[in-house]
Amino acid sequence: MSGQLSIAAWQLDQDSAAAYEAYLVARFFGRWAERLVAHADITPGASVLDAGCGTGIVARTAAHAVPDIEAVGLDLNDGMLAEARRQDSQGHVAWESGSLAAMPFDDGRFDVVLSQQVLQFVPERARALTEMYRVLVPGGRLLIALLRDIRFNASYEALAAVLDRHAGREAGDMIRSPFAGPDAATLRTELEHAGFGNVTIQHDILDVRFPNPSEYLRQEAASSPLAGPLSELAEDRTRALIADLEAALEPFTDDRGVTFPMQTYLVQARRPGIQ
């Protein structure tokens, strides 16, 4: 699928991970983490896994929202985990290195598994869902946030097209890749094939604002592999890119900057059994 990059393309170093936390988590992933945790209805004393935790915003949000839980964050990316540990300076979360396709946990280890914006990058998605099922207790709950197709996130579609024109298709595909996950019907089928029941999928929409198109581009680049191709552009091409982006984002621009809706799937499922 065009626009789909593997998780290896998103192995950010610690500087990029810090930018991801400072910009993207602060602007929208933090708010989505709050919604994911709220829908999970986590009870005190529960064991909770943040699967593909990145800089750990979901695990940290859960640990701060619910008393006395055991929160664990799992990720392959050393840079992301280093930033997660830095953000969790008081050690509320146990941070583990490992793959979603072969989790380093016993069967039935967790009451709740949460996963935000990672499955679209996992090449062995079916195996990852099977692992999520395995590590849940019978009756345990799975909650996933997964961005909808880029056509439902029009500002990013515009940004990708501008990058195609000025920085090349690879740069445009880096922006498309977070939106290249499965559609709702496919995701439902994959969850049920992994053994999950009570699957519900809803659209969740978040309003996002950046001060201007240039800053939108800068923060996205600093927080992703896009920084590499953009840093190689000559100054005149960069100026042309920004001018084109300003024109493309004009429908999203008001007197306070650039504002647009972002759409994700919010998925809930349960491992059958009695908890």
113 membership: H or E segment, kind and range: strand 110-116
Can you give the pLDDT at residue 229? 85
Task: Give the whole-number percent of the chain exceeding pLDDT 90.
Answer: 84
Q: At 134, which CATH number?
A: 3.40.50.150
| Number of domains observed in the structure of the chain | 1
User: What is the domain range of residue 114?
Assistant: 7-150+178-209+259-270
Examine residue 185 and state whether it is found in any structural domain, yes or no: yes
Q: Is 145 helix (H, G, I), strand (E, B) or coil?
A: strand
Asked if residue 142 has pLDDT above 80, the reply is: yes
Examine residue 229 and state whether it is found in any structural domain, yes or no: no
CB-count exposure of residue 117 (10 Å: 0-12, 13-18, 19+): buried
Q: How many helices (H) and strands (E) does the chain have?
A: 11, 8
What span, in angstroms and rounded, lies between the C-alpha atoms of 134 and 39?
21
Grade residue 41 by pLDDT with cuts at 50, 70 and 90.
very high
Examine residue 156 and state whether it is found in any structural domain, yes or no: no
Please list the residues that pair with 82 across neighbouring strands: none
Instruction: Dump pLDDT digits (tens) for 151-198.
Output: 999 999 999 999 999 999 999 999 999 999 999 999 999 999 999 999
Examine residue 171 and state whether it is found in any structural domain, yes or no: no
Examine residue 57 and state whether it is found in any structural domain, yes or no: yes
Sequence-ordered alpha helix ranges (H) in 113-209: 125-135, 154-167, 169-176, 184-194
Instruction: Dump pLDDT digits (tens) for 106-133.
Output: 999 999 999 999 999 999 999 999 999 9
Examine residue 249 and state whether it is found in any structural domain, yes or no: no
Q: What is the arithmetic mean of pLDDT over 126-147?
A: 98
What span, in angstroms and rounded, lies between the C-alpha atoms of 33 and 116?
7
Examine residue 169 and state whether it is found in any structural domain, yes or no: no
Average pLDDT, the chain: 92
Q: What is the arithmetic mean of pLDDT over 96-104?
A: 97
Examine residue 264 and state whether it is found in any structural domain, yes or no: yes
Q: Tally Cβ neighbours within 10 Å of residue 231.
A: 9
Instruction: Dump pLDDT digits (tens) for 5-30.
Output: 333 333 334 478 899 999 999 999 99
Asked if residue 90 has pLDDT above 70, the reply is: yes
pTM of the model: 0.91
Can you give the pLDDT at residue 223? 86
